Amino acid sequence: MAKLLAVNVGLPKDVPWQGRNVHTGVWKQAVTGPRMVRRLNIDGDGQGDLAGHGGEHRAVLVYQIDSYRHWQKEFGRDDFVYGQFGENFTVDGLPDDEVCIGDRYRIGEAVFEVTQPRVTCYRVGLRMEEPRMPSLLVSHRRPGFYLRVLTEGRVEAGEEIVKVASGPEGVTVAEIDALLYLPGHPRDQLARALRVPALSPGWKGSLQALLDQDEGVPGKPAGNVGLASAGPPPAWGGFRPLRVARIDAESRSVFSLTLAAVDGAPLPAALPGQFLTFRLRPDTAGPPAIRSYSMSGRPGSACYRISVKQEPRGVASGYLRAHLRVGDVLDVAAPRGTFTLRAGDSPVLLVSAGIGATPVLAMLHALAAARDPREVWWLYGTRDGAEHPFAQESRDLLARLPNAHEYVCYSRPAPGDRRGVDYETAGRISADLLDGLRVPRAADAYLCGPPAFMHELPAALASAGLTPSRIHTEIFGAGPALTPGLTNVAARPVHPPAGPPGPGPAISFARSGLTVEWDPSYASLLELAEACDVPTRWSCRTGVCHTCESGLLSGAVGYSPEPVEAPSEGDVLICCSQPRDDLVLDL
Ligand SMILES: Cc1cc2nc3c(=O)[nH]c(=O)nc-3n(C[C@H](O)[C@H](O)[C@H](O)COP(=O)(O)OP(=O)(O)OC[C@H]3O[C@@H](n4cnc5c(N)ncnc54)[C@H](O)[C@@H]3O)c2cc1C
Ligand code: FES
């Protein structure tokens, strides 16, 4: 009979870590006497970061004394105390390779259901003083698991753990953990795991993504789509020369470049919404300027088209505008990006402002070329008629669709601009405007525009009733950081790291517009990015969770430690990699 050895609780506190503060509830202490277990927490317990831990499906974390013994031997340590692994219940019995998702247990007055394995997060490494811990828990198949509270009640150390029901399908905690994190992901096992109703929604989403990918889509990416979305593998590695075939003015400040292969052969097809990255040399003596531009032309044509807004004092856009001529050759990385038009029959909202029209214009081209029967909305905001690129082109494309709606706003219409002809409303695309338009709720929305627009519109569409996971966004710059638990991180402009430049290869952070030299004193590219305040996303920091997966536009990396599963082709896990040569990262 399994037994509850200890009930451990702890409230989140700030812990110093690498010069920063981490707000974490991973420090738990064993308590004596009965404790009330409620739907979201044990009395006296709390989680520091509710995005990663806690909630109904992750109310109580369980870890086994047998795994304590395993790790004591593995690390040669004898200093473990109850709660050492951040768990609420230390148990004797209930091994990960026997307990199944959906199993139900009674302990004291309370009844629990097994929902998912432990979340792979760096904080268990912090608690254990062993940074590799998140990765080791997965590779040694000893993750521990979470319980949902079905019946609230008191529990106490020493009580017996009585199994009251078995999860359907008999998928063990160790099996499902391996199914998501380790290479392989057999299709029949994914389908079996997805049939377990008790599995937490987050895990269901990840396993479903793996199953969908396995449907046999050509150009299927390697890597782990259950953990990080990935496009098809890049059509070529690094940069290749492309010739400027045309230059066209689109508005007062926007111009398009049409690019062709130097030998005239058709270029590989890109997905509607993808972007190209350019290595430009505005200053022949200085470092290259690396900039990305979404493709604005018809996907599948023999040439690529990008459209650039000339920014005041903009290094790259100014150089392209002033110096580029037809026949010039540019260094271009292959089409990339996951902001791409999804297949389906739901309505499509293409919502953009300013130069943000470019990726959604490529989507409109794709829809028009297919005479797609879906309901399509083109919602666009700009300043006035002189700053309205693609006005005729978008109208012509919409006219080819059987079910299209157009709505254009000018924030400051010029005297010659005709309301009802050139634009519908004076003002910006806003939450109120969307409310009034009654856009369909069961839609896929694609949004791109300036920072204020990207701040307001996704939330506005969600509150208008669209499903958040179907609101897709593209940001023309560095993406938002994800630094779970860090409390004292102010968003600062990017900068080279403190101290003299390192002796290593040049590392370019393309979205942040920064190139710095590698220094081997950094354990990983993530650490270098952090030293430069380049926004990054991460969770485990040891190559398990793929949260840090980023585009590797050119160059090669080595891994130490080796990730549990390799990222998609053309991507890199920055938390556990080091450069082999000069790199360009999509960060
Ligand atoms: C995925 C992706 C897709 C993109 N797609 C497009 C696209 O389709 N079209 C497009 O035009 N852009 C696009 N961008 C943005 C593009 O990559 C560049 O960031 C943009 O062209 C500006 O680069 P720049 O070198 O001209 O400006 P930078 O020199 O990098 O300057 C950036 C900003 O700072 C301002 N600035 C520069 N110097 C000064 C100064 N001394 N004082 C005050 N302000 C200053 C500039 O006005 C500019 O607004 C995309 C970006 C990404 C990441
Ligand atoms: S942060 Fe988890 S794989 Fe890099």
CB distance 540 to ligand 2 below 6 Å: yes
The answer to whether residues 315 and 289 touch, using CB atoms and an 8 Å cutoff, is yes
CB distance 358 to ligand 1 below 6 Å: yes
Instruction: Indicate the Cα dihedral angle 42, 46, 47, 53, nearest 10°.
Output: 20
Instruction: Indicate the Cα dihedral angle 75, 81, 83, 89, nearest 10°.
Output: 110
CB distance 513 to ligand 1 below 6 Å: yes
Query: Can you give the pLDDT at residue 432?
Result: 87
Instruction: Using CB atoms within 10 Å of the CB of residue 221, give its burial: 0 to 12 exposed, 13 to 18 middle, 19+ buried.
Output: buried
Nearest to 276 by CA among 337, 329, 322, 356: 337
Q: SS3 for 212?
A: helix
The DSSP call for residue 423 is B
Tell me which ligand sits closest to the C-alpha of residue 121: 2
CB distance 292 to ligand 1 below 6 Å: yes
Please compute, for residue 396, the number of CA atoms within 13 A of its CA located in the half-sphere on the CB side. Answer: 6
316 alpha carbon – ligand 1 mean position (Å): 7
The CA–CA distances, whole Å, from 405 to 100, 180, 269, 575 equal 50, 41, 28, 45
Confidence of residue 481 (pLDDT cuts 50, 70, 90): confident
CA angle 287–291–293, rounded 5-degree value: 160
What beta strand segments (E) does 262-415 contain?
275-280, 289-294, 304-309, 329-336, 348-353, 376-382, 404-410
Tell me which ligand sits closest to the C-alpha of residue 288: 1
167 alpha carbon – ligand 1 mean position (Å): 54
Q: What is the residue whose two structure tokens read 């096992």?
A: 189
Res 54 pLDDT > 90: no
Q: Please tell me the distance from the alpha carbon of residue 478 to that of residue 404, in angstroms, as a whole number.
A: 33
pTM of the model: 0.90
575 alpha carbon – ligand 2 mean position (Å): 5
Token pair listed for 446 = 């694609």
Query: Can you give the pLDDT at residue 534?
Result: 96
Query: Can you give the pLDDT at residue 248?
Result: 98
306 alpha carbon – ligand 1 mean position (Å): 14
Q: What is the CA radius of gyration of the chain?
A: 27
Nearest to 254 by CA among 310, 298, 324: 310
Query: Can you give the pLDDT at residue 235?
Result: 96
Q: SS3 for 228?
A: coil
User: Whose C-alpha lies nearest to ligand 1, atom 9?
Assistant: 308
Query: Can you give the pLDDT at residue 284?
Result: 81
Instruction: Using CB atoms within 10 Å of the CB of residue 156, give its burial: 0 to 12 exposed, 13 to 18 middle, 19+ buried.
Output: middle
Q: Please tell me the distance from the alpha carbon of residue 303 to that of residue 502, in angstroms, as a whole number.
A: 40
Q: Please tell me the distance from the alpha carbon of residue 529 to that of residue 586, in angstroms, as a whole number.
A: 12
Confidence of residue 18 (pLDDT cuts 50, 70, 90): confident
CB distance 539 to ligand 2 below 6 Å: yes
Res 334 pLDDT > 80: yes
Query: Can you give the pLDDT at residue 214?
Result: 56
The CA–CA distances, whole Å, from 387 to 273, 310, 316, 396 equal 22, 12, 20, 18
Tell me which ligand sits closest to the C-alpha of residue 539: 2
Q: What is the residue whose two structure tokens read 């290593």?
A: 504
C-alpha 200: how far from its chain's center? 19
Confidence of residue 420 (pLDDT cuts 50, 70, 90): very high
Confidence of residue 221 (pLDDT cuts 50, 70, 90): low
Query: Can you give the pLDDT at residue 416?
Result: 96
- Which residues, listed in sequence order, are joined to residue 518 by a DSSP beta bridge? none
How does pLDDT run across 284-312, given as a tens digit for each residue? 888 899 999 999 999 999 999 999 999 99
209 alpha carbon – ligand 2 mean position (Å): 19
Q: Report which of residues 482 and 102 the model is more confident about.
A: 102
Res 322 pLDDT > 90: yes
314 alpha carbon – ligand 1 mean position (Å): 6
Q: Given ligand 2 and candidates 541, 550, 557, which is best to mutate, with the most ligand atoms within 8 Å of its CB?
A: 541
Q: To which H or E segment does residue 578 belong? A: strand 577-579
The answer to whether residues 298 and 366 touch, using CB atoms and an 8 Å cutoff, is yes
Q: Please tell me the distance from the alpha carbon of residue 88 to that of residue 437, in angstroms, as a whole number.
A: 50
How does pLDDT run across 433-442, given as a tens digit for each residue? 988 898 999 9
How does pLDDT run across 223-237, given as a tens digit for each residue? 888 898 878 899 999
- Which residues, listed in sequence order, are joined to residue 116 by a DSSP beta bridge? 146
Query: Can you give the pLDDT at residue 249?
Result: 98
How does pLDDT run across 348-399, given as a tens digit for each residue? 999 999 999 999 999 999 999 999 999 999 999 999 999 999 999 999 999 9
Token pair listed for 535 = 């926004």
Res 78 pLDDT > 60: yes
Token pair listed for 208 = 């479903």
CB distance 546 to ligand 2 below 6 Å: yes
Query: Can you give the pLDDT at residue 583?
Result: 97
Confidence of residue 282 (pLDDT cuts 50, 70, 90): confident
Res 219 pLDDT > 70: no
Q: Please tell me the distance from the alpha carbon of residue 584 to that of residue 570, in angstroms, as a whole number.
A: 11
Query: Can you give the pLDDT at residue 114?
Result: 98
Mean pLDDT, all residues of the chain: 94
Tell me which ligand sits closest to the C-alpha of residue 482: 2
The CA–CA distances, whole Å, from 297 to 9, 309, 402, 538 equal 57, 15, 21, 34
Over pLDDT 90: what percentage of the chain? 87
* Angle of helix 173-181 versus helix 201-213 axis, rounded to 10: 50
Q: Please tell me the distance from the alpha carbon of residue 458 to that of residue 438, in angstroms, as a whole number.
A: 15
Atom of ligand 1 nearest to the CA of 513: 30
Token pair listed for 90 = 């230390």
Confidence of residue 222 (pLDDT cuts 50, 70, 90): low
Q: Please tell me the distance from the alpha carbon of residue 122 to that of residue 527, in angstroms, as a whole number.
A: 14
Confidence of residue 492 (pLDDT cuts 50, 70, 90): confident
Q: What does the buried/exposed string (b/e) look like for 498-527 if buried means 16 or more CB atoms within 10 Å of the residue's CB? A: eeeebebebbbbbbbebbbbbbeebebbbb
Tell me which ligand sits closest to the C-alpha of residue 336: 1
How does pLDDT run across 162-209, given as a tens digit for each residue? 999 999 999 999 999 999 999 989 999 999 999 999 999 999 999 999
Confidence of residue 426 (pLDDT cuts 50, 70, 90): very high
317 alpha carbon – ligand 1 mean position (Å): 7
98 alpha carbon – ligand 1 mean position (Å): 55
The answer to whether residues 504 and 579 touch, using CB atoms and an 8 Å cutoff, is yes
Confidence of residue 272 (pLDDT cuts 50, 70, 90): very high
Query: Can you give the pLDDT at residue 398?
Result: 98
